[in-house]
Structure 1
Amino acid sequence: MNIIDELAWRDAINQQTDEEGLRKLTDGKAVSLYCGVDPTGDSMHIGHLIPFMVLKRFQLAGHRPVILIGGATGTIGDPSGRSSERTLQTLEEIQANVDALTSQLRKLFVTEGDNEIRMVNNYDWTHKINIIEFLRDYGKNFNLNTMLAKDVVASRLEDGISFTEFSYQILQSLDFLHLYQHEDVQLQIGGSDQWGNITSGLDLIRKKEGSEAVAFGLTIPLMLKADGTKFGKSAGGAIWLDGNKTTPYEFYQFWANTDDRDVVKYLKYFTFLSKEQIEALAEKVETEPHKREAQITLAEEMTRFVHGEDLLQQAKRITAALFSGDIRSLSAEEIEQGFKEMPTFTSSKEPKNIVDWLVELGIEPSKRQAREDINNGAISMNGEKVGSLELVIDASHAIGERFIIIRKGKKKYSLVKMA
């Protein structure tokens, strides 16, 4: 299957500058292409993954992808999708982000082989251009009326846009030209909001290299959830690829909790499962939705891809323990992940009667209620029911000498940290 046909089946194409020409270019010939990301933070989130998963598909189809880290463009900020000016970061902050993203992307996408994904930083060629060269050699090729008509700029005109952000499309166009000239790149891919920047790059290539220059652009659709909200967000905020920002367990749970209406779409976008495998899972969604096989497969595939097999198994252990109540099977680190968003209390290590301890922490509103809940078997500690009003709590009850998990009723968990 031609890579363009595969992307079409996966609903991963929004716009193409020349569908027929790109199909011919990629049919039987290895093509160099690129996708970029600006270092606005020290980690990507899952929304950033969308175009890079397409880039990976090109690699698997035998093409030669390039990942561009925007060490230069990141200093001024892409106005796409924004209603106001960015707060500029220091060069030191940007370089730290460049280093972090380079490491993250290299871990996920760079493999050894003839068509391994190459990584470049646009600061390497942009910082050598002085202001006179920029204006004469590049700025002269951009018509102001055309730039103003681009959606990314037009949407900002009412509230205002600085010359700095206005010039972003020139710098991104310069990237496409540089990669065309020095890396034989003939295709740029990006999100739907990058269409204007991509077409500006194509215009610059043809003005500099001649109207017969062969280059293309392709954008990926904006992804929305079935309820109309933006993909990639949870109640706690963005779902990060950095395990210190979003733990592997939280990452796994995000995918495992995907709506039935979205799961097949995500399987197409984010996994490398075959058409036959995805269609079989789609059928399970229709016939046996309660088993959530598609969601579990999606969660496993994505957690394995981003965090590796060991952390996938850890996420599954936490999930199983929370479902069964077998809390003691978890390590202190796994408890910290699994109970990160649950009510948290801090206790001293001094011995305390269970009733007094629950009330002093605020888990129970009164001693009377605490005694009643214990007598009714409604209080569990580390997965075991508390059976005595005389129980004395001390550090020996803490898992890993750090945590005690209290469950009140069937679902109300509390995490107690031992000071």
Structure 2
Amino acid sequence: MTKHMLEAGKPATPLKSETLQVLLERGLVNQASDLEALDARLAEGPVTVYAGFDATAASLHVGHLMPLMTLRWMQKLGHRPIAVLGGGTTQVGDPSFRNEARPLLDELKIASNVSGIRRCIERLVSMDGDDGALLVDNAEWLTEFRFLEFLRDYGSQFTVNRMVTFESVKSRLDTQSPLTVLEFCYMMLQAVDFLELSRRYNCEMQIGGSDQWGNIVNGIELGRKADGRKLHGLTVPLLTTASGAKMGKTAAGAVWLHPEHLSPFVFWQFWRNTADADVGRFLRLFTELPMNEVERLSALEGHELNDAKKVLATQVTAIVHGPEEARKALEQGEALFGGAEELLEPTHVLPRIRLSEGLGLLELLVLVGFAGSNGEARRLVEGGGVRLNRQVVDDARRQITAGNLQADDRLALAVGKRRKALVGFD
């Protein structure tokens, strides 16, 4: 199968479908299995399209916004999205671009993770109406297979010769890293997902990250061999910053989409702190602003670029957490960075008993997400970058007590100029 890459975000010939035009304009297309055929099919009318999300954590993270925004745009343009929750495939573990096997999770943990991921997805795509998005769990069909039945029905449709050429396998073999039979079979399971979805829901298209290319191709080929179906695949780019670094992590870890794992304000602040060089691209990728407004905001310079960052942060937060949470986050940000903490609700709330039990400054930095470990927090303090109630603190052994609270029983904590928190105690 030919892999169609796009040079400078433009296809070789003019596109017929509005859908591909929009996705390309927003920067959401990296590869397509057959760009001309996909364009022609999308121009004919609505398609059902899916993206899969394995339940390896209790929340999706900001990297998942790429396929989710693609599903969201396609739904707005008349297509029907399916989000597949990987209750079945998570039991195996995707080896793509990993040097070692993923830790295997038990069924209870997977079920709990599926529940959290469902909450993330329901905000981003609409479930309403006859053509609303579907959420399905691939455990529905994968756990029904018997081993010999699976091998007889599908094993003959795959060749080892072909499977070892895919990057997820080839990279392991090239580095002589162990690759279990369990992981090797993952691409077969994902291919069966595509076939099952095409049979059950007439799904014709799969979306995935660039690391899923081999898995997507296997599904397309299985649909052709088993049922004579014409299926399509599209990958989104790897999410990186302008510097080339992989995006989506802070010192404290992943930028989660679930509010119980990362508060809407901290999520907003992450986007508000976007590097200048990334603002324009992120406005295209992660907001639904008209392109003329995106271009206007992208052209801002100097201090005015901060206004574009606030728009970016508020727009993305509204999509992920809802307009009301976005409004509150913007108000918190304006007050906190404007020095009007007294107007704010706390960005973080801790049990008041912590003040009497013993709460160190290093632990506090970790709890609010400014550091991923006590060691990282220590380096911040010793580097002179930490302020408590607007005063620089350079003692890493500093303990937080009730006497440190401001008149409103809160603490103002900051690292540098771009990360601030207001900590309350109840």
* Alpha-carbon distance change, 29 to 404 in structure 1, aligned in 2, over 3 angstroms: closer
Deviation at 1:304, TM superposition (A): 1.0
Mapping 1:198-347, distance limit 5 Å: 198-210=216-228, 213-285=229-301, 290-331=304-345, 334-336=346-348, 347=355
Q: Distance in 2 between matches of 1:409 and 1:105?
A: 34
Aligned to 1:61: 77
Q: Does 1:84 align with 2:100?
A: yes
Residue from 172, 175, 183 that aligns with 1:156: 172
* Alpha-carbon distance change, 73 to 413 in structure 1, aligned in 2, over 3 angstroms: closer
TM-score (normalizing by structure 1):
0.81
Letter in 2 for 1:293: D
Structure number with bigger Rg: 1
2:72 match: secondary structure: helix
Q: Distance in 2 between matches of 1:96 and 1:380?
A: 37
Aligned to 1:14: 30
Contact 1:381–1:406 (CA under 8 A) maintained in structure 2: yes
Aligned to 1:39: 55
Q: Distance in 1 between matches of 2:219 and 2:276?
A: 39
Contact 2:85–2:138 (CA under 8 A) maintained in structure 1: yes
Q: Distance in 1 between matches of 2:50 and 2:416?
A: 54
Q: Distance in 2 between matches of 1:104 and 1:10?
A: 22
Aligned to 2:66: 50
Tell me whether 150-159 or 168-177 shows the greater mean CA deviation: 150-159
* Alpha-carbon distance change, 240 to 418 in structure 1, aligned in 2, over 3 angstroms: closer
TM-score (normalizing by structure 2):
0.79
1:22 match: secondary structure: helix
CA offsets, 1:94-136, max 9 Å, x none? 0111122122212332331243111111100111110011110
Contact 1:345–1:414 (CA under 8 A) maintained in structure 2: no
Q: Distance in 2 between matches of 1:282 and 1:409?
A: 25
Deviation at 1:380, TM superposition (A): 9.6
Letter in 2 for 1:301: Q
Letter in 1 for 2:156: K
Contact 1:43–1:101 (CA under 8 A) maintained in structure 2: yes
Q: Distance in 2 between matches of 1:150 and 1:242?
A: 33
Deviation at 1:23, TM superposition (A): 0.6
Structure 1 residues not aligned, in runs of 5+: 350-378, 384-392
Aligned to 1:191: 209
Q: Distance in 2 between matches of 1:122 and 1:411?
A: 42
Deviation at 1:244, TM superposition (A): 2.5
Residue from 171, 178, 189 that aligns with 2:196: 178
Superposed CA RMSD in Å reads 3.1
Residue from 404, 407, 410 that aligns with 1:403: 410
* Alpha-carbon distance change, 348 to 93 in structure 1, aligned in 2, over 3 angstroms: closer
Identity rate, percent: 36
Contact 1:327–1:382 (CA under 8 A) maintained in structure 2: no
Q: Distance in 2 between matches of 1:408 and 1:176?
A: 47
Aligned residues between the structures: 368
Deviation at 1:243, TM superposition (A): 1.8
Q: Distance in 2 between matches of 1:8 and 1:406?
A: 41
1:67 match: secondary structure: strand
Letter in 2 for 1:312: A
Deviation at 1:418, TM superposition (A): 6.6
1:292 match: secondary structure: helix
* Alpha-carbon distance change, 335 to 297 in structure 1, aligned in 2, over 3 angstroms: closer
* Alpha-carbon distance change, 177 to 398 in structure 1, aligned in 2, over 3 angstroms: same
Letter in 2 for 1:308: G
Q: Distance in 2 between matches of 1:407 and 1:190?
A: 38
